[in-house]
A = this chain, B = another copy of it.
Amino acid sequence: MLIGELARQTGCEVETIRYYEREGLLSAPQRSSSGYRRYTAEQLGELNFILHCRSLGMSLADIRNLAAFKADHDHDCEDINLLIDQQIAKVHQQVEALRLLEQQLLALRDKCHESHAAADCGILQTLVEAAEGAPCVCHTPFGQDNHGHSQDYDHTAKKNGRSNKDRP
């Protein structure tokens, strides 16, 4: 099977397959005399495994780990569970963050109903005033006194909690 056929069977693009090989996720296939990649059913399974994991939102690093666990049959599956649990936690946090975001955007959207000049637009006014330190519908949940607003939408929280001196 050539790469184009594998791409057709998996729904994965040719360049992505080559990328996975470069990244060491997909084992390097045999080559024809002219250098064409020749795939077997085994590699079809390998690629489907990767695509399945990707569809569950796993990073390529996670998938590499998972593939290593898969190869090491006697290894305890505790690490697999940990990986899945971390993935669940990550996704859950993202859901929560995005739900909050949606509420904030809806509150902001509610500031403008009918068409008018930008200078009078409640949305723009809210954004400009918030930039000057005023409380805003989007980041002031419910009649909350909000001094020093600019520190409140903690954009550093998105990274990992604290920002300044963290080194990965």
Contact = CB atoms under 8 A, between A and B. Distances in A.
Given A70-B118, A76-B117, A117-B73, A98 B109 contact: no
A90 B105 CA distance: 11
Binding site secondary structure of chain A? helix
Contacts of A72: 118
B118 A73 contact: yes
A110 to B, nearest CB: 10
A121 B91 contact: no
A123 B80 contact: yes
B167 A115 contact: no
A146 interface: no
A163 B91 CA distance: 10
A64 B108 CA distance: 18
A70 B102 contact: no
A51 interface: yes
A52 interface: yes
A77 interface: yes
A93 to B, nearest CB: 9
Closest CB pairs A-B (n = 7): A55-B153, A77-B121, A49-B131, A48-B131, A73-B119, A57-B164, A75-B118
